[in-house]
Amino acid sequence: MLTVRAPATSANLGSGFDVFGVALTHPADVVRVERAEETTIEVTGAGEDFIPTDPEKNTAGVVARELDAPATIHIDKGVRPSSGLGSSAASAAGAAVALNELYDCGLSREELVRVAAEGEAVVSGDAHADNVAPSILGGFTVVTDDGVTTVDASLPVVVCLPETVVSTHDARGVVPDSMAMDDVVETVGNASTLVAGMCRDDPALVGRGLTDPVVTPARSALVDGYDAVAEAARDAGATGVTISGAGPSVLAICRSQSRRRAVAAAMVGAFGDEGIEARAYRTEIGGGAEVFRS
Protein backbone atom coordinates (compact mmCIF):
# COMPACT_ATOMS: atom_id res chain seq x y z
CA MET A 1 0.00 0.00 0.00
CA LEU A 2 1.30 3.44 -0.91
CA THR A 3 -0.23 6.87 -0.41
CA VAL A 4 0.41 10.08 -2.36
CA ARG A 5 -0.82 13.56 -1.51
CA ALA A 6 -1.19 15.52 -4.75
CA PRO A 7 -1.85 19.25 -4.38
CA ALA A 8 -4.43 21.50 -5.98
CA THR A 9 -3.06 23.83 -8.63
CA SER A 10 -3.93 27.10 -10.28
CA ALA A 11 -3.36 27.31 -14.03
CA ASN A 12 -2.96 30.34 -16.33
CA LEU A 13 -2.22 33.06 -13.70
CA GLY A 14 -3.83 35.57 -16.07
CA SER A 15 -1.07 36.40 -18.52
CA GLY A 16 0.12 32.77 -18.89
CA PHE A 17 -2.96 31.16 -20.46
CA ASP A 18 -2.34 27.41 -21.00
CA VAL A 19 1.33 27.92 -20.00
CA PHE A 20 1.72 28.96 -16.32
CA GLY A 21 0.70 27.01 -13.23
CA VAL A 22 1.41 26.87 -9.51
CA ALA A 23 1.09 24.15 -6.87
CA LEU A 24 -0.84 25.18 -3.75
CA THR A 25 -0.06 23.81 -0.29
CA HIS A 26 -3.76 22.94 0.10
CA PRO A 27 -6.35 21.65 -0.68
CA ALA A 28 -5.08 18.29 -2.05
CA ASP A 29 -6.24 14.87 -3.21
CA VAL A 30 -4.97 11.81 -1.37
CA VAL A 31 -4.48 8.76 -3.63
CA ARG A 32 -3.91 5.29 -2.10
CA VAL A 33 -2.82 2.41 -4.34
CA GLU A 34 -2.36 -1.32 -3.88
CA ARG A 35 -1.27 -3.90 -6.50
CA ALA A 36 -4.18 -5.85 -8.04
CA GLU A 37 -5.00 -8.05 -11.04
CA GLU A 38 -7.15 -5.33 -12.52
CA THR A 39 -7.79 -1.66 -11.80
CA THR A 40 -10.72 -0.64 -9.64
CA ILE A 41 -11.41 2.87 -8.38
CA GLU A 42 -13.18 4.15 -5.29
CA VAL A 43 -13.77 7.87 -4.73
CA THR A 44 -14.67 9.66 -1.50
CA GLY A 45 -14.68 13.33 -0.49
CA ALA A 46 -15.49 16.58 -2.31
CA GLY A 47 -17.80 15.99 -5.29
CA GLU A 48 -17.52 12.19 -5.02
CA ASP A 49 -20.92 11.69 -6.69
CA PHE A 50 -19.77 13.51 -9.83
CA ILE A 51 -16.58 11.53 -10.44
CA PRO A 52 -16.68 8.38 -12.60
CA THR A 53 -15.24 5.20 -11.06
CA ASP A 54 -15.00 3.41 -14.42
CA PRO A 55 -11.19 3.17 -14.90
CA GLU A 56 -11.56 4.16 -18.57
CA LYS A 57 -13.32 7.39 -17.60
CA ASN A 58 -11.33 8.36 -14.52
CA THR A 59 -7.99 10.17 -14.93
CA ALA A 60 -6.32 7.86 -12.38
CA GLY A 61 -7.62 4.76 -14.19
CA VAL A 62 -6.23 5.99 -17.51
CA VAL A 63 -2.87 6.63 -15.85
CA ALA A 64 -2.88 3.05 -14.48
CA ARG A 65 -3.50 1.76 -18.01
CA GLU A 66 -0.78 3.98 -19.51
CA LEU A 67 1.75 2.71 -16.95
CA ASP A 68 0.54 -0.89 -17.28
CA ALA A 69 0.16 -0.83 -13.49
CA PRO A 70 -3.19 -2.34 -12.44
CA ALA A 71 -4.19 -1.39 -8.91
CA THR A 72 -6.92 -0.89 -6.39
CA ILE A 73 -7.04 2.92 -6.30
CA HIS A 74 -8.76 4.94 -3.59
CA ILE A 75 -9.03 8.67 -4.19
CA ASP A 76 -9.97 10.93 -1.30
CA LYS A 77 -10.95 14.17 -3.01
CA GLY A 78 -9.86 17.36 -1.27
CA VAL A 79 -10.08 19.31 -4.54
CA ARG A 80 -13.68 19.83 -5.68
CA PRO A 81 -14.38 18.96 -9.34
CA SER A 82 -15.11 21.93 -11.66
CA SER A 83 -13.46 24.30 -9.20
CA GLY A 84 -10.67 25.74 -11.35
CA LEU A 85 -8.18 24.18 -8.93
CA GLY A 86 -7.01 21.25 -11.05
CA SER A 87 -9.24 18.57 -9.52
CA SER A 88 -8.91 15.86 -12.18
CA ALA A 89 -5.23 16.80 -12.59
CA ALA A 90 -4.55 16.22 -8.88
CA SER A 91 -6.02 12.70 -9.14
CA ALA A 92 -4.02 11.99 -12.32
CA ALA A 93 -0.83 13.38 -10.78
CA GLY A 94 -1.33 11.44 -7.54
CA ALA A 95 -1.97 8.19 -9.41
CA ALA A 96 1.04 8.69 -11.72
CA VAL A 97 3.45 9.30 -8.83
CA ALA A 98 1.94 6.51 -6.70
CA LEU A 99 1.89 3.82 -9.41
CA ASN A 100 5.40 4.72 -10.59
CA GLU A 101 6.61 3.97 -7.04
CA LEU A 102 4.37 0.94 -6.46
CA TYR A 103 5.53 -0.81 -9.65
CA ASP A 104 9.06 0.61 -9.59
CA CYS A 105 8.57 1.95 -13.16
CA GLY A 106 11.60 4.23 -12.79
CA LEU A 107 10.08 7.22 -14.62
CA SER A 108 11.32 10.70 -13.74
CA ARG A 109 8.87 13.30 -12.44
CA GLU A 110 9.10 15.09 -15.81
CA GLU A 111 8.15 11.86 -17.61
CA LEU A 112 5.24 11.41 -15.19
CA VAL A 113 3.90 14.83 -16.24
CA ARG A 114 3.41 13.42 -19.77
CA VAL A 115 1.69 10.29 -18.43
CA ALA A 116 -0.64 12.28 -16.16
CA ALA A 117 -1.44 14.67 -19.03
CA GLU A 118 -2.55 11.64 -21.08
CA GLY A 119 -4.95 10.79 -18.25
CA GLU A 120 -6.33 14.33 -18.45
CA ALA A 121 -6.58 14.12 -22.25
CA VAL A 122 -8.64 10.95 -22.32
CA VAL A 123 -11.06 12.23 -19.70
CA SER A 124 -11.36 15.92 -20.66
CA GLY A 125 -10.63 15.60 -24.38
CA ASP A 126 -7.61 17.90 -24.20
CA ALA A 127 -4.18 17.50 -22.56
CA HIS A 128 -3.43 20.65 -20.53
CA ALA A 129 -0.24 19.89 -18.63
CA ASP A 130 -0.54 23.32 -16.94
CA ASN A 131 -2.28 21.63 -13.96
CA VAL A 132 -0.56 18.21 -13.81
CA ALA A 133 2.93 19.76 -14.10
CA PRO A 134 2.74 21.83 -10.89
CA SER A 135 0.86 19.07 -9.04
CA ILE A 136 3.74 16.66 -9.76
CA LEU A 137 6.73 19.03 -9.75
CA GLY A 138 5.63 21.74 -7.32
CA GLY A 139 6.35 25.48 -7.37
CA PHE A 140 5.71 27.65 -10.43
CA THR A 141 5.76 25.84 -13.77
CA VAL A 142 5.99 26.99 -17.37
CA VAL A 143 4.68 24.38 -19.83
CA THR A 144 5.53 24.62 -23.54
CA ASP A 145 5.67 22.09 -26.39
CA ASP A 146 9.37 21.66 -25.59
CA GLY A 147 8.88 20.67 -21.95
CA VAL A 148 8.42 22.10 -18.46
CA THR A 149 10.50 24.74 -16.66
CA THR A 150 10.09 25.08 -12.90
CA VAL A 151 10.80 27.84 -10.39
CA ASP A 152 10.84 26.91 -6.71
CA ALA A 153 8.61 29.84 -5.74
CA SER A 154 6.93 30.54 -2.42
CA LEU A 155 4.27 33.25 -2.08
CA PRO A 156 1.12 33.82 0.02
CA VAL A 157 -2.08 33.08 -1.87
CA VAL A 158 -5.83 33.06 -1.27
CA VAL A 159 -8.11 31.06 -3.54
CA CYS A 160 -11.81 31.63 -3.09
CA LEU A 161 -14.14 28.88 -4.34
CA PRO A 162 -17.82 29.79 -4.84
CA GLU A 163 -20.61 27.22 -4.82
CA THR A 164 -20.98 27.63 -8.58
CA VAL A 165 -19.62 25.68 -11.54
CA VAL A 166 -18.00 26.82 -14.79
CA SER A 167 -17.52 24.22 -17.51
CA THR A 168 -14.01 24.24 -18.96
CA HIS A 169 -15.60 23.68 -22.38
CA ASP A 170 -17.64 26.91 -22.03
CA ALA A 171 -14.65 28.79 -20.62
CA ARG A 172 -12.53 27.79 -23.61
CA GLY A 173 -15.34 28.69 -25.97
CA VAL A 174 -15.20 32.40 -25.02
CA VAL A 175 -11.45 32.76 -25.58
CA PRO A 176 -10.84 34.66 -28.85
CA ASP A 177 -9.00 32.82 -31.65
CA SER A 178 -6.52 35.66 -32.16
CA MET A 179 -5.31 38.84 -30.50
CA ALA A 180 -4.26 42.31 -31.62
CA MET A 181 -0.54 43.17 -31.56
CA ASP A 182 -1.11 45.73 -28.74
CA ASP A 183 -2.59 42.94 -26.61
CA VAL A 184 0.27 40.59 -27.47
CA VAL A 185 2.80 43.22 -26.34
CA GLU A 186 0.90 43.86 -23.09
CA THR A 187 0.55 40.13 -22.38
CA VAL A 188 4.25 39.43 -23.00
CA GLY A 189 5.16 42.33 -20.68
CA ASN A 190 2.88 41.09 -17.92
CA ALA A 191 3.94 37.45 -18.27
CA SER A 192 7.61 38.47 -18.13
CA THR A 193 6.97 40.59 -15.04
CA LEU A 194 5.25 37.62 -13.41
CA VAL A 195 8.17 35.27 -14.14
CA ALA A 196 10.65 37.77 -12.70
CA GLY A 197 8.44 38.03 -9.62
CA MET A 198 8.34 34.26 -9.19
CA CYS A 199 12.14 34.08 -9.41
CA ARG A 200 12.41 36.72 -6.65
CA ASP A 201 9.42 35.59 -4.51
CA ASP A 202 8.15 39.15 -5.00
CA PRO A 203 4.36 39.40 -4.48
CA ALA A 204 4.15 42.92 -5.97
CA LEU A 205 5.69 41.86 -9.30
CA VAL A 206 3.67 38.64 -9.48
CA GLY A 207 0.47 40.53 -8.66
CA ARG A 208 1.17 43.04 -11.43
CA GLY A 209 1.96 40.26 -13.89
CA LEU A 210 -1.41 38.52 -13.36
CA THR A 211 -3.20 41.11 -15.49
CA ASP A 212 -4.09 40.09 -19.02
CA PRO A 213 -6.06 42.08 -21.55
CA VAL A 214 -7.77 39.21 -23.37
CA VAL A 215 -8.56 35.88 -21.67
CA THR A 216 -9.61 36.97 -18.17
CA PRO A 217 -11.90 39.80 -19.39
CA ALA A 218 -13.56 37.34 -21.80
CA ARG A 219 -14.04 34.72 -19.09
CA SER A 220 -15.04 36.99 -16.21
CA ALA A 221 -18.65 37.09 -17.44
CA LEU A 222 -18.85 33.34 -16.71
CA VAL A 223 -17.79 33.79 -13.05
CA ASP A 224 -20.73 35.41 -11.25
CA GLY A 225 -19.46 38.13 -8.92
CA TYR A 226 -15.93 38.18 -10.34
CA ASP A 227 -15.48 41.96 -10.66
CA ALA A 228 -16.77 42.66 -7.14
CA VAL A 229 -14.64 39.87 -5.62
CA ALA A 230 -11.51 41.05 -7.42
CA GLU A 231 -12.04 44.62 -6.25
CA ALA A 232 -12.68 43.50 -2.66
CA ALA A 233 -9.50 41.41 -2.65
CA ARG A 234 -7.40 44.31 -3.95
CA ASP A 235 -8.91 46.70 -1.38
CA ALA A 236 -8.02 44.18 1.36
CA GLY A 237 -4.36 44.03 0.31
CA ALA A 238 -4.04 41.61 -2.61
CA THR A 239 -1.31 42.65 -5.06
CA GLY A 240 -3.17 41.05 -7.97
CA VAL A 241 -6.23 38.93 -8.71
CA THR A 242 -7.29 36.62 -11.53
CA ILE A 243 -9.50 33.65 -12.35
CA SER A 244 -7.95 30.35 -11.25
CA GLY A 245 -7.78 28.01 -14.25
CA ALA A 246 -11.10 28.01 -16.08
CA GLY A 247 -12.88 29.20 -12.90
CA PRO A 248 -14.99 29.68 -10.90
CA SER A 249 -12.29 29.96 -8.18
CA VAL A 250 -10.65 33.36 -7.91
CA LEU A 251 -6.95 33.59 -7.02
CA ALA A 252 -5.35 36.50 -5.14
CA ILE A 253 -1.63 37.00 -4.47
CA CYS A 254 -1.11 38.61 -1.05
CA ARG A 255 1.56 41.08 0.13
CA SER A 256 2.32 38.92 3.19
CA GLN A 257 1.11 35.80 5.01
CA SER A 258 -0.68 37.99 7.53
CA ARG A 259 -2.76 39.76 4.85
CA ARG A 260 -4.37 36.48 3.80
CA ARG A 261 -7.03 36.49 6.53
CA ALA A 262 -8.36 39.93 5.50
CA VAL A 263 -8.20 39.11 1.77
CA ALA A 264 -10.02 35.80 2.31
CA ALA A 265 -12.76 37.47 4.37
CA ALA A 266 -13.19 40.23 1.77
CA MET A 267 -13.54 37.73 -1.09
CA VAL A 268 -16.03 35.49 0.73
CA GLY A 269 -17.97 38.63 1.76
CA ALA A 270 -18.09 39.96 -1.81
CA PHE A 271 -19.40 36.65 -3.17
CA GLY A 272 -21.92 36.68 -0.30
CA ASP A 273 -23.11 40.17 -1.32
CA GLU A 274 -23.92 38.68 -4.73
CA GLY A 275 -25.91 35.89 -3.03
CA ILE A 276 -23.22 33.26 -3.66
CA GLU A 277 -21.81 31.08 -0.90
CA ALA A 278 -18.05 30.65 -1.05
CA ARG A 279 -15.13 29.30 0.93
CA ALA A 280 -11.59 30.62 0.91
CA TYR A 281 -8.34 28.67 1.21
CA ARG A 282 -5.52 30.65 2.82
CA THR A 283 -2.68 28.85 1.10
CA GLU A 284 0.69 29.42 -0.58
CA ILE A 285 2.74 28.23 -3.53
CA GLY A 286 4.22 24.93 -2.35
CA GLY A 287 5.74 21.59 -3.29
CA GLY A 288 4.57 18.81 -5.61
CA ALA A 289 3.10 15.36 -4.91
CA GLU A 290 4.42 13.67 -1.75
CA VAL A 291 4.79 9.91 -1.26
CA PHE A 292 3.96 8.15 2.04
CA ARG A 293 4.71 4.42 2.46
CA SER A 294 2.77 2.24 4.91
- Least distance from ligand HSE to the Cβ atom of residue 172, Å: 5
- Least distance from ligand HSE to the Cβ atom of residue 35, Å: 31
- Least distance from ligand HSE to the Cβ atom of residue 11, Å: 4
> Is there binding between residue 12 and ligand HSE (CB under 6 A)?
yes
- The answer to whether residue 168 is catalytic is yes
> Is there binding between residue 168 and ligand HSE (CB under 6 A)?
yes
Q: Which region among 37-45, 153-161, 165-173, 280-288 touches ligand HSE (by CB under 6 A)?
A: 165-173
Distance CA 75, CA 47 (A): 11
Q: Which region among 101-109, 128-136, 156-164, 252-260 touches ligand HSE (by CB under 6 A)?
A: 128-136
Residues pairing with 9 in the sheet: 23
Question: Which class for 207: exposed (0-12), middle (13-18), buried (19 or more C-beta within 10 A)?
Answer: buried
- The answer to whether residue 284 is catalytic is no
Antiparallel, parallel or unpaired: β 156-162 and 147-151: unpaired
Of 27, 203, 245, 288, the one binding ligand HSE (CB under 6 A) is 245
> Is there binding between residue 18 and ligand HSE (CB under 6 A)?
yes
Q: Please identify, using beta-carbon distances, which residue of 12 and 91 lies nearer to ligand HSE.
A: 12
> Is there binding between residue 279 and ligand HSE (CB under 6 A)?
no
> Is there binding between residue 14 and ligand HSE (CB under 6 A)?
no
Q: Tell me, by CB under 6 A, how many residues bind ligand HSE.
A: 11
Question: Which class for 196: exposed (0-12), middle (13-18), buried (19 or more C-beta within 10 A)?
Answer: middle
- Least distance from ligand HSE to the Cβ atom of residue 58, Å: 16
> Is there binding between residue 76 and ligand HSE (CB under 6 A)?
no
Catalytic residue, candidates 66, 118, 120, 284: 120
> Is there binding between residue 187 and ligand HSE (CB under 6 A)?
no
What part of residues 246-275 is at the interface with ligand HSE (CB under 6 A)? 246
Q: Which region among 57-65, 124-132, 250-258, 272-280 touches ligand HSE (by CB under 6 A)?
A: 124-132
Catalytic residue, candidates 101, 111, 168, 231: 168
Q: Contact at 8 Å (CB) between 250 and 226?
A: yes
Q: Please identify, using beta-carbon distances, which residue of 18 and 290 lies nearer to ligand HSE.
A: 18
DSSP letter for each residue of the chain: -EEEEEEEEEE-TTTTTTTEEEEEEEEEEEEEEEE-SS-EEEEEETTGGGS--STTTSHHHHHHHHTT--EEEEEEE-S-TTSSS-HHHHHHHHHHHHHHHHTT----HHHHHHHHHHHHHHHHSS--HHHHHHHHHBSEEEEETTEEEEE----EEEEEEES----HHHHHHTS-S---HHHHHHHHHHHHHHHHHHHHT-HHHHHHHT--SSHHHHHHTTSTTHHHHHHHHHHTTEEEEEE-TTSS-EEEEESSGGGHHHHHHHHHHHHHHTT--EEEEEEEB-B--EEEE-
Of 4, 79, 96, 171, the one binding ligand HSE (CB under 6 A) is 171
Q: Please identify, using beta-carbon distances, which residue of 1 and 188 lies nearer to ligand HSE.
A: 188
User: What residue ranges bind ligand HSE (CB under 6 A)?
Assistant: 11-12, 18, 128, 130-131, 168, 171-172, 245-246
Residues with a catalytic annotation lie at: 120, 168
